Structure formats: structure tokens, C-alpha cells
A and B are shown apart, each in its own frame.
Chain A
Amino acid sequence: MRFRAKIVDLACLNHFSRIINTIARLAKTCILRLTVCKLYFILSDKVANGGASMWCELSQGNFFDEFQMEGVAAEHNEIYLELVPENLSRALKTAQSAKAVKIKLTNKHCPCLRVAVELPSLSSSSRIVTHDIPVGVIPRRMWNDFREPSVPDFDVSIYLPVLKTMKSVVERMKNLSNFIVIEANLSGEMNLKIETDLVCVTTHFKDLGNPPWASEDGCQSSAQGRDLESMAEACIDIKKLQQLLAGQQVNPTKALCNIARKRIVHFILLHEEVSLQYFIPAIA
């Protein structure tokens, strides 16, 4: 089992760091899955995470100049590692002017991801900073725990409002309540509501648009036969929503959410080179 990768381009490094920063805000510990073509950051919906789960997928070719991976076995050519993304974020934070960043899986004293940053210096040789990030290697028998979650059977799918606006609304609401109701209909309308003993606050968004979902087996039927005005709502932990929005440092190309009435809200944020899905279960 080996893994080595190298980033030389500063823009790629910057972009990769921003993705790691986003992940670090969503999960204290998560799984990094490495395949020949892709990297995945996975958070499974354990109770410890408050039931929220995450699936983030990126193509290694868009970031790394070199990428070599050998999995546990030929027919299981993948590596699953458990790590603290905040460590990776910190390691990359001061690397923004680096000549090169190399990442390597090592096992000198315990399994680690060694991030080696080569920095420019006025002397004849470069400065090298190495960060040894301890990781846990997930054995093959546990890989099934980390499969891609399926898109829930949702009632409404809607594009999100401008994330910056949504974030500032949610941040203010967070001061008043621990839970937020997110509801939307198939006419492009969405409301964010909080309700406390003293006050109810609702923010209305309209003309958001509803993404078309291909009806593969007729389950996600089209708008016909459905009440366009009827709202599907779910009450979720406001902190989880705020963390998701606060972690977005760049505007996604597409941002949408799927609401399964009273069950779960599934957020999908798509950028050119990376996709992030975040599932927040509804509070009963």
C-alpha cells in the first residue's frame, strides 16, 4: 500500500487548500478514500456526528502533478484513511508560497501522511517544512461502512439562494434558536424559519428555480400530478447548516438541496473540479 502525490502549481495548491478548509469545518474526523483517479472525503452518519454525513469527491488530475497510488490489493486498489482534516488544513495553510508540496503515506512509527513543503529561501537550498499527520488505516472489511449515500427519496428539489446571503441570514438566526426549518416548493420558493417562545422569524426567497431530475424509474416524478405550491419542510440543527455555509469560500457553480419532508435535507454543492454532498437529518 503506497501513496505519493505532488502539487507544484500554486493555483492548484490554493484550490486544494480551500477544499480542505471547507472539509475541516464540517468534520472533526473524516475518512479519506484514495483511488487511482479520485480522492473522496467521507463522513458517515454516525450518532457522534449528529447524524450528519458528507461525501466530497474530487478528481486528482485537477490538482496533482504527480499521483501514485497502490491500494491494499490488486482487486481492491484503494486506500481508506481516517484523519483529522484540521491537521491537513494547518499543514497547507503556510504553504501558499511553496515551490512544491509533496504528500506521502508513511509508517515510520505509526501511519502518517507526511506533507513536505518546499519553500523558497534566500539561501542556496530551499527550506523544507514537514508535517507528519497521524492517520488511521481502515481495514478492507470496514470499507462497506463508507459507501456513497444514495440520493434520498425527496419531495422537493430546489436551487439554493446566493450562499453569502443565506449564510448571513442563518448566522443571525443562529443567535436566536438551535433549530431552523427549511422549506421549499416546486415553484422556486424557499423559506427559512425559526420559532422561539418570544419570536418567529421567517426569511422568504423566491424565483430560485427547481432543478430537473431525470425520472429514471418514475420515482422522482415530474411536476405533473404534484401540488407546485405545497411546501416540503424539515427542521434541522442550525449549527450544521451554518457550518456548511460558513465553509464555502468560493461560490459553487451549482448549489441545490433536496428536501425529504420531515426526514432529511440533502445539499449538493458543485464546483468545476469538486462536488460536495452534505446530508442533515431532520429533528423529530
Chain B
Amino acid sequence: LSRIGDELYLEPTESGLSLRAVNSSRSAFASFLFAPLFFQLYEPGSAGPDTELFRCKVHMKSFLGVFRSLPSLEKSVGKCLILLKPRASRLVLQLHCKHGVTKTHNLAFQECERLQAVFDTQRCASRLCAPARVLAEAVVHFPPTLAEVTLGTGPGGKISLRNYVEDEAEPSKTMVTELWLAEDEFQSAAVAPGSHITFCLKEFRGLLSFAEASNLPLTIHFDEPGRPVVFTLDDTVLEVHLVLATLSDLKSNSRSPSTNGVSHLPAPSDDFADDLESYMAAMETSEGGSGGPPSPTFPLRTSRPAESDPEEEEEEEEEGEGAVPGTPPHKKFRSLFFGSVMTPGRPGPATTQEVLAEDSDGEC
């Protein structure tokens, strides 16, 4: 969660304790829901007819600081108590350690509205499920600094991962890496043919290491470019969601889907033409200069960012530095949709694309 945002949102519910985070450009959201059974004791408090269960947010660093060194915690801590004291404005984290030592941390919190990204995995056209190990092995071929990756479907039901090259980057100077996974590497694959989405790899890597460590299979729900991609992990006592914005694809209508598929056939059938003869001929005859004809550019998979509505643009400018590491430049990615403040219960289906309601905590 700390890889996503600087604030940790705690939301006790009847179905468990939910820990959430969102990034500053609102293009990444994660939630971890721990079922009551995960805990030795779980008392979410009582909600009256007019009041909801109390929720708050704390500084991520303060919270993490309490659990700083996991190996030593595992050796010395017997129990951990998390207690929310609304009247004292404190979140209490109490570690009961060996030798009768008790460490009590009082964290200041801020009240907040419900943080909930609007998404509906049921409405996603495509779904992939794979052991975390397979995805981790796939992602290792990309450099650690790579910002965005494109997940796509290809011929023969193969799934591809390709590094995303920005429009501004010179295609003749950028290395392109593409990995193909066969359908049978996945536990399940129900994908719309010719579909592809581009999302931020850095934020995904965080979830991937968690999944690997807990040995849980990862499910990827996605739809059209521009609609968020949802990664989920499921366990008996834990439900994890990571929602990432994806790059919009304005050109997808004018370009036939087969172009995208054909231009990235896997290498083994290396029969495609190497038209270097004519290239060389062109170079030999060109006058002076350090090169021949300018290199044609890579085909652009996605083009300009989607037209953002004025509200969204304003909001993005207010957010100031979008230079949060691991966040795609917010001008290109649509912000995630955040549900209206008063929505109770589970996330509802996404409504219209134009409406963006930011969670209104602290802004008023």
C-alpha cells in the first residue's frame, strides 16, 4: 500500500477491516480487506441509524514505522492491538512483546470520507488468472525503471506483455521488449480477442511481490483501453484489489485490430521480410549527411490522451507535481472514478465516464 500512496485509509466494516490507499493523481487505488476471522478479536464498533462506522486515515510512514523490522517483530511480538479512539483523535497500535514489554504507539489520524474507486469486475470483458510466479517471471524481462507496460492478446490465444513506448520517444532509439505467454500458463483465460491495455508497471510490481510472497494466484480483469484494470487476490481471510487506470486509445477505431495483432507475431516463425536491401540502396544514394532515409516510426498503439473534460483538467492541475514515482503522467491517464461519498456497501457498477467525483476529504 505504501507503494501506492502516502496515506493509509482504515475502514472497519461488518465484513472486516479494510486498508486502502490511493495515489496523488488518482490513477491507482488498492484495498486489502481482512475478514473478521483473520483477527483473534474483531469489533468494528457499532453504527447507529444515522452514523456510519468510524473511519480515518493516517500517514503511511507513521503506520509503517510501528512495524519497522519484520524479522525482529516476529521474534518478539506476541499480540498486536489496533484500537481506534475517536474522541481522543488517536489510532492506538499496541504491541504486546516478550518479557512483559508493551509498546504503545498513538498515531494521529484524520477523519475522512469513504475512499472507493468505482469499478465492477463483472463488467470487464476479459479476465486472466495466473499464479503469481508466472507473472513475476514475465515481468523480470522488463527493466526495473520501466513505467508502463501493455498487456495484449494475440493469435493463438497467446497473451503478450510489451513495454510501452511514449509518443514523444524516438522509436528508432528505443528498445522494445515483448514477451509471449501461452494460454495454458494461465489457470484461466477468458479474453476478448485483439484487446490490449496499457498500465503502470511500477504500481503493479508492488502487488505482484505480495502475491508471490503469499503464493496466491492473481486475477486480472480488464476491458477497453481507458477503463481501469483490476487485479485481485483472493484468500479465505483476505481480499485484495488493485485498480489502475489505463491509457485511452483514441485511434483504436480507425485502426483495424488485425494490424495490432499482425505486427507483433512471435519470433519463431521468422519468415518476415528483411527489407534491408532497399534500405541500403537508399542509403548509398543519399547525399552526404550521416544517415539515409529517416527511419519510419513504430506503429503507434495508442495516441493522444483522451479528451479530458474541463473539470478533470482543473483538478489535475491542482494536484501539482505529478512527479510521483511510479505514477503515469496524469495528463495521459484518466483518473479513476471515485464513488460518491455516501455510497454504502460494496462498489456499484461504474456509471458514466464523464463524471469524476473525487473523495472530498479535507478539501472542503
Contact = CB atoms under 8 A, between A and B. Distances in A.
Determine if chain A interacts with chain B: yes
B182 A72 contact: no
A125 B154 CA distance: 15
A124 B295 CA distance: 38
Contact of A137 (B143, B178, B268, B283): B283
A114 B276 contact: no
Contacts of A104: 267, 270, 274
Interface stretch (A126-134, A178-186, A239-247, A249-257): A126-134
Contacts of A123: 182, 184-185
Contacts of A84: 175
A124 B183 CA distance: 10
A1 to B, nearest CB: 5
A118 B179 CA distance: 10
Contacts of B267: 102, 104, 114, 116, 128, 130
Given A2-B276, A139-B284, A110 B171 contact: yes
B7 to A, nearest CB: 35
B40 interface: no
Interface residues of A, number: 39
A91 B163 CA distance: 13
A77 interface: no
B73 interface: no
Contacts of B298: 109-110
A2 B279 CA distance: 12
A140 B279 contact: no
A46 to B, nearest CB: 13
A137 B280 contact: yes
A87 B180 CA distance: 20
B150 to A, nearest CB: 14
Interface string B258-288: 0000010011101010111101100110000
Contacts of B173: 134
A169 to B, nearest CB: 32
B315 to A, nearest CB: 37
A108 interface: yes
A203 interface: no
Contact of A107 (B171, B182, B270, B279): B279
A131 B280 CA distance: 23
A105 interface: yes
Contact of B175 (A121, A129, A134): A134
A1 B298 CA distance: 22
Given A131-B177, A137-B283, A125 B182 contact: yes
A130 B177 contact: yes
Residue among B140, B180, B266, B267 with max Cβ neighbours from chain A (10 Å)? B267
A136 interface: yes
B49 interface: no
Contact of A106 (B177, B185, B274): B274
B181 to A, nearest CB: 6
A123 B283 CA distance: 45
A200 interface: no
A28 interface: no
Nearest to B172: A110
Contacts of A108: 263, 272
A102 B179 contact: no
A122 interface: yes
A17 to B, nearest CB: 14
A218 B32 CA distance: 80
A107 B180 contact: no
Interface string A144-178: 00000000000000000000000000000000000
Interface string A73-116: 00000000000100100110010000000101111111100101
B272 A106 contact: yes
Contacts of B276: 1-2, 105, 107, 111, 137
Contacts of B176: 131-132
B310 interface: no
Contacts of B180: 127-129
Nearest to B186: A123
Contacts of A127: 137-138, 179-182, 185
Interface in A39-76: 72
Contacts of B184: 123-125
A77 to B, nearest CB: 13
Contacts of A116: 267-268, 270
13 contacts: A104-B267, A104-B274, A107-B274, A123-B182, A127-B179, A127-B181, A129-B177, A129-B178, A131-B175, A131-B177, A132-B178, A139-B280, A140-B284
Going nearest first, the 4 A-B pairs with the smallest beta carbon separation are A110-B295, A116-B267, A123-B184, A110-B172
